[in-house]
Structure 1
Amino acid sequence: MAIKLPSSAYPTRFLRWVYFSSSCIADISETPEIVKLKDSSEFDQNLNFLRNKLAPDNLIRVLDRTNDLNSAVRIFKWASRQKSFHHTSNTYYRIILKLGMAGKIVEMRDFCENMAKDRCPGTEEALVTLVHTFVEHCRIEEAITVLVNMNLGGYRLPIEAFNALLGALVGGKGREFQKALFVYKEMVKACVLPTVDTLNCLMEALSATNQIDLALDQFRRMKNKGCNPNSKTFEILVKGLIENGRVDEAAIILEQMFKVQCQPDLSFHTCIIPLFCRENKIEEAVKLFKMVKDSDLESDSFIYEVLVRCFCNNLQLDSAVALINEMIDSGMPPKHYVLVDIMNCFCELGKIKEAIVFLENRQVHETAPFNILLEGCCNAGEILAANVLLERISERHIADCQSWNILIRWFCENEDIKKAYTLLGRMIKSFVILDCATYSALVVGNCRLGKYEEAMKLFHQICARCWILDFASYSELVGGLCDIKQSEDAMEVFHYMSMKRCSLHSLAFYKLIKCVCNSGQIKEAIRLWQLAYFCAISCCIATHTAIMQELLRSRRAEDMLAFFSQMLMVGSNLDLEVYCILIQSMSKQNKIKECVLFFNTMINEGLIPDPDQLFDQLSFMANHSQLSMISSAIDRISGGDILNSAMYGLLIAGLLKEGREHEARRLLDSMLEKGWVPDATTHNLLIGSDVREAMSQAMLFDDSASLDSVSNILAEGLGDT
């Protein structure tokens, strides 16, 4: 087999460079790395052969059969030193190709430079062929190295080779924009004019790197460069705009395509129609689809399938059915997932009877569409129709285990376990093997009727088969067992499901933790909570507070901070109850600093306890002379209607004891503004404080200013004393 480049890319004089054995290329690509010679016998034999018959063709034959790269390079350099020998473009081509296919870029660069300097006849053609060969074998760095040396040597690479290299860079997995830009700059340096394919590659690179505005600039300047946009141009721009969330602009570009009467190819339609469908732009998608039908293009099933799904998602049932009929008439029977989409549409519109007729008229034999229809019947309460449909597809051997499970599940969820077991008997008689979904349905049915003993028997059968129940069944079973306070059975189920990494509803898990805590098994509750984290079970705040309340009740307050730290590590939310429990726990342990920290954090987050809890917390702070440490929190809660008369008295007395007279008087002002009178104890404390301040002021100033509102009130209380 020969490697043949496109005939349009090269004139006739290039063709002698095009044909090389593909087996030779394969041999070169497997050439080992340059290493020190261990056995020089092959090298010596080749050298002896060339001493008597040194000619370009003989040198090429020797290079081809020399497996060791180091030997090949030594032979080539030896030939260079012979006075009677001159390298040709063929010999340079061979050594450069050999090194390039082995990934030896540095070594091949030197030979490219020498080749350009020697200016052998046919050098330009050889270098062009090297670029194409490297591109075809995904040796992009090697191709760029040849390109650079061509430009440095004054050789011009044809635009087709530039386009091939740009296409490889843009279409590759890495989409290397910087390298594509470098190649484009080299093309400009070589004074090679771009074609529409060149600009398409550039716009695609810009679009792939989220530089769609620059791509649009290139599009607007295409005419200045003597190029007209083609189908690929519009495909790149429309796709780029849609993927950047600029769907309306994409529609404008599409209108421009219609305006210039550019006929899009099938690749355009296959790419763009699904994108417009994904963005729910049905009008644009349908317009393009009509263009496909009006043209000579043969539309494939993929475009039909995408449009059917789009119509179904928008509940345009008639349009979807019409497309299905077109597919069948065109010899493209719709795949099962297309029928699933249209069945979902029928069911969502409540057209159950029409859906049954649709499947029967088209002699559908796939199971999935019928299962969707069975679910639709059950959801619509059409149980009689579902039973009849199941009977029909069972007789036609279309029904599978899931078909039976759909109806069994419906009966179980609607607390009609008797009919579920009747259906189960028919299922077994039809030689359908039960699966874990069947057991899951039966577990739900028994739980709904409170038959937890029967549900546990089914669960043990599941365990014996190493199967698992579904999410809803586990939640029903665990939650129900906790409701009847069977914590041991509930824990058994949870341990099994956690071992299988199954999840559980957050409410069911809360019930489990609450049940275990109420039975006094706080250690087990914490262990279950830790297991839940590894099973990705979502825990509500009530679950955490249940554990914390039990820690508080069981006099394990010392473990509270350890559990709280674990809550923070897993990112648990904190609410008012959590803070109140923490403060209560810390106060029992006389951990004053922790109480102050939690109280300040709670108030800063806008969480205010009820009056009784708040009074107890403030009392603890006052008794330990810590009111000054929560002064900012006091300011927050004193600004509204949170504090009552007793709390004001407590705070005023406590602040005075801590020597914070200014804050105490400010609180008294606030208290009096609300119409409350301080109790006798607070009153006496304030009187004593004001007498001391008045005497101090009299010694310093003869003509003192009038006292503030608090001082005036206290002076009136003192009278003439």
Structure 2
Amino acid sequence: MRQTFKLQSLSYKPLNSQLSAYQILRFSSLSKSSKPSPHSKKTQEHQLKDHAEIKTSNSLFKEITDIVGADVLIPDKTPYGFFISRETHVGDNEITGEFKFCEKGVCGNAELNNGLPKEGSLLAFGDIKVEALNETDVSAVVQEITGIVRAENCKALMEERLDNVGFQLDPEVVEKVLKRCNKVPHLAYRFFNWVKTKDGFRHTTKTYNTMLYAAGEAREFSMVDLLLEEMEKYSCEKDIKTWTILIQQYGKAELIGKALLVLEKMRKSGYEPDLEVYEVMLHSLCNAGKGEIALEFYKEMMQREIEPNLSLYKMLLNCLAKSGDVSAVQSVADDMIRVSQIPEHDVHVCVLKSYCVAGRIREALELIRELKNKETQLDYEFSETLVKGLCRANRIADALEIVEIMKRKDFVDGKVYGIIINGYLRRKELSKALDLFQSMKEFGHLPATSTYTELMQHLFRSNEYQKGRELYDEMLERGVEIDSVAVMAIVAGHVRQDHISEAWEVFETMEDKGIKPTQKSYSIFIKELCKVLRTDEIIKVLDKMQASKMFIRDEIFEGVISCMEKKGEMDNIRKAKQMYRICRLHSLNDEISRNDLSREEELHVDSNCNEPVQGRMDWNSVKPLSKAYDEQDLREILRILSSLEDWPIIQDALEKCTIQFTPELVAETLRNCSMHGNAALHFFAWVGKQNGFCQTTETYNMAMKISGRGKDFKHMRGLFYEMRRKGFLIPPDTWAIMIMQYGRTGLTEIALKIFGEMKASGCNPNDSTYKYLIVCLCGRKGRKVDEAIKIFQEMIRAGHVPDKELVEAYLCCLCEVGKLLEARKAIDSLCKAGFTVPASFSLYIRALCRAGMLEEALSLVDQVSTEKTTLDRYTHGSLVHGLLQKGRLEEALAKVDSMKQVGINPTVHVYTSLIVHFFKVKSRHQKRWKFSKA
């Protein structure tokens, strides 16, 4: 039997000698290789071996239960933070906070501080110390210039306004302006290029570092390459921060090969990695699952006597445990005890947790047995961690055995029960979770807030509205502390049942309970209202957000406007767009004001990038605050592209105009001139060659859309490969565009192949990807029903909720081909996913009517017993239309009368169907009369 802890020294070798040039080149060409590595083969062999030893593992577990049962459990909390005492809320596919990787944002490690002196006043920032500036206050100049750079809807060009103010700019001012503009890198880059033209000004390493950081954060690696070329051209030396920023940004984008190449160049230039560089590299490698290379970097750190901090140790253990490298886990644990002097008990707990996080239950059980053999006392934390690990590995029965042992020691509490309940909910076993929930209350344990909340969420998703509501009332009666997640769970439940007034009542009382609504709270409220198409209520929520000065993210507005467009409510669309413009303007002004309040914010970007700070913007998920273009410029470009036919003439007109092209302007131009596809694609290629301009993912996406619409698939694929060559991160939306363009023309085989390539590249499909693929597979051109069924089920299992358009297309396809059993399964899945019974069945009934299966539709209406009135209101129009199509006028009129009796008035759709039917009948009678006269 292996000994888990052997006090042995690591045999260190310099990383240079262990990472060959071949390895570095291999990683530079592959950011996410789907080809199995030797290490992955070793892991697979290890897993096969485990599978062959299931019986041994079971007997090992029995032995462990005896060991745990033989000890007196002693509650113990470590001072090192290996366990998180607060309860965390988790969803279906999550696990509590104790089992999340201890990931620390690497933003701080590449901070924009280039001051090398170590004396003077220092500001703490993550693990880095930043020297405070003790020079003349230039904040007023910086603020005014920042306002010009980031100004929206200004007729004068940025460069003209900057020329007019006439400030004398030095590198310090430029650096601070660039830091304030890091969220809009293309505007920052225009300012960066403008200031180069000023007499006597020369960019410094600090200003280049700031610009490199902003470009890297935006994943604009073509801009990064241009900046590096400029530094070489103007002999601007790179310092340790330059290299750190580059390694960090490539690592965050999972371009591990490029990060390794930068590290090699850094060594050749005479710089050795410091703690920040090692931390950035280890974070990148562990996040990318490159445990072997991460271990080599760690060994080099230890050889150079650079000691990791605790979070780095824990992250490395998690990565190594996940890869199955038990000997490496042993070595790192030895160093934690021997070198970093961390108490053995704390290290043992940390290692056990790493195994449990990685799902390595066999290794976890072996560790416990060996600790027992070493007469190490197994306390409460060991048992609790093991229960979590067993639940995560879907071994709830084994976890319950551990709980029974803990019961005999009288150390079972509500937290342990909550872990088991969460395990049941992850397996969709709601009834077992409720039974255990009842039992724990009978034993006198008070459930945690998170346990109540998880149960409520699952009850509402299962259409057990009343039970979920009773659970919330029970929380209030028993004095359980209510948090925002619990409140929003009951609000969502009310909205799904169309109890809007009750939802507002609960939401309004949040502040009375001392809970301030967060951006997430508002977002959930709006998304639920969008699902039931209550657009007037959505406007009320947006008004409330604006009144509370809450930042509203772009995707919220996009979802709201999309919902309103489906209903055709132009007035509400105008209101929402007006709110959007106001929000963008206030956001810009607020950020400038915030930057002026603190000199610290001029010196760095927040390192805690994994913390949910209200109002934080993510360049990858939302659009820039500024549109960075003038509407007049857009109209001028569109006029040139649409009024001229020959590209040479168009190109001449574009070169004569004085418009400053930005990615936002180009993307909007392409979006508006899809009818002039040839000119648009020529424009895209031309503008990409202009000095200072860099294409973005959005501009590429628009160009690919135009190519696909024109069925120029070769050009579309060429643009895709060009994105890859230039180092762009390929998001799910880019894949979705190619899938949609092939699928809409009936080339569904190719669309499926691209979908497979997407998943093989490591990119997870999102809602849009699944939607476009399934809709294409259900279309009349290239229809593939079996594949559509398979992918729809995959979408549901992945936790994605289909929208109304997708559900209608899918159900209509199934009904048309007679796969009614699969259609019924889809309805059951929708109900579990949160659709109400009336909404789900109404979509199915409409699909049956459209497929001419009237009798099946009428039979289905009779089968539904819950919320009959709501279902009738949703479906009576489709049923009337179906009856008229079959010539059953009397039944159709009877249906209309019955609806009137229960207070449901006929819709325009019903009246239109009746009018069309009467005209058709009259036309047939007239034809018969003319024939008889003849």
Q: Whose Rg is larger?
A: 1
TM-score of the two chains, using structure 2 as the length reference: 0.33
Which structure has more relative contact order (CA 8 Å, sep 6+)? It is 2
TM-score of the two chains, using structure 1 as the length reference: 0.41
**Higher helix fraction: Structure 1 or Structure 2?**
1
